[in-house]
Structures are given as structure tokens and as C-alpha cells.
Amino acid sequence: MRHGNDDLSTLAAGVAPRPRVGRPAAGPTMVQQAYDHLLTALMTLQIAPGERIAIDQVARRLNISQTPIREALSQLEAEKLVHKLPNVGYRASAQMTREEVRDLYTLRQLIEPYAAARAAEAMTEAAVEELEAIDKAMSNVGEDAAGGYSRFAEADDRLHRLIATLSGNRLIADTVERLHAHLHIFRALYSTNAPTEAAAEHRAIIDALIARDGATASKAVRTHLERSQQRMDRVLAGDSATTA
């Protein structure tokens, strides 16, 4: 059934036009929507480190009230991605220092090789399929394709999170997820992770997991983290923000 004044582009997209009768009350879905929006903006540096976050602008943009946005911001604050200043409001957290990055890798080295060994023991058909999908996504990212880096970073995120989840240890899964958010922001700024090198290291991890070889998977993760840290450190040592 169609009416003369329907918005054709909305109909074409198969989405019902949104009723414009006041703003809906805050609920879990709206908090999630606000959280996803803000996290993406932080990850992709649309909100730069140290930049103030204008709650009213975000509310207008998402067409929701400020309440779910404040709630999302307090979640992001707990994850140390933003912080609240009296009389100023929320700001995106500052860029990580070289020491903080080193500490981050130290922690990852303590938990991720262990998680990979456990994951190899817990492989399921579904997990194998997901690993193959991640491998495919990584192989399809060209070194210099537009948006290639962020797509690669996304696949990298998926892989490390999947391993942490498959470890069966909820605390490890939560920790890796949180750490990755920080690293991701850092990498977006410096673009250090050479996709080709890292893709080969990822493939070694994926192959060992699919073969259910815990010792090899664990070793492959350790090697990958070492090399990833070296790549990052080289850029930081040069104090340059312009590495392709």
C-alpha cells in the first residue's frame, strides 16, 4: 500500500519511515546505538585524542535524547577511552605514550599466547568457519586500497577477540576486548601495522588453530605480538606520524 507523499528513497531501502512524534525514551538499544556511534568516531579519529565531545550535537545527529548518550559516555569512561572534566564535560582520552604501549604489549604477551593454546583445544566447526572468513577478509585487503587499513584493523580485531573468546575464560575475553580498543586508536593515528607482514603472521596463527595445535598456535601468537610491537616501536622511535 502506498501513499502519494511517501519518501521513495526510504521505501526503496525497505525501511519504514521513522515516526517524528517526539523522542523515544532512553533504553538499552539507544544506549547501544550511542555507544557504537561514539566508539566508531573515536576509533576512526573523527573525534581526535583530547577533543571535547559535544553531547547535544551527538543527540541531534542520532535523533535521540542526551540520556543514553551520557550513559554510553560513562561506559566509555570506564574503558578509559574518554574522561570527564568538571565544567567542561567529556573529552576523548589522550594518545597513549610509548611506555603505555609497551605495557600494553607486555600484558598481551601474558594472556594471548595462553588463550590461543586453549582456543586450539576448543575448536568447533563454527570457529573454523569464522577463522576462514577472517583469513579471507585479511587477504582481500590491499596495501594501499582506500580504507584498506581500517578493514585490515577490523579483521585483526575479530581474530584476536575470537581467540580470546574461544579460550573459554570470560575475564581474558573482556580484557582483550578492552585492550584492543586502545591499541586500535593508537594504530589509527600511526598506521604502523604493515598489512602484508601481519597477514602472514595471522595466517600462521589461523593454520595452527584449525590444526588444533595448541603449542604452535601459542608460539605463533607470541611471535606475532613481538613483531607487531617492533613495528610500532620503530615508528615511535622515529617520533613520526607519517608512516604508510
In angstroms, the CA 132 to CA 135 distance is: 5
Q: Interaction with Zn ion in 211-240: which residues (CB under 5 A)?
A: none
Instruction: State the DSSP H helix or E strand holding residue 92, giving kind and residue range, or none if neither.
Output: strand 89-92
Q: How far is the CB of 94 from Zn ion (least distance, A)?
A: 24
Q: Which stretch binds Zn ion (CB under 5 A): 59-67, 128-136, 152-160, 162-170?
A: 152-160
Q: For residue 45, give the amino acid letter.
A: L
Instruction: Provide the mask over 153-192, with x wherever binding to Zn ion is found by CB under 5 A and - wherever it is not.
Output: ---x------------------------------------
Q: Which stretch binds Zn ion (CB under 5 A): 29-37, 57-65, 149-157, 163-171?
A: 149-157
Q: How far is the CB of 208 from Zn ion (least distance, A)?
A: 14
Closest CB to Zn ion among residues 48, 200: 200
Total residues at interface with Zn ion (CB under 5 A): 1
Q: For residue 25, give the amino acid letter.
A: A
Phi-psi region of 50 (alpha: psi -120 to 50; beta: other; left: phi over 0): left
DSSP assignment, residue 88? Answer: T
Residue 66 in grid coordinates: 542526551
Identify the bridge partners of residue 89 per DSSP, sorted by sequence position: 85
Q: Which residues bind Zn ion (CB under 5 A)?
A: 156
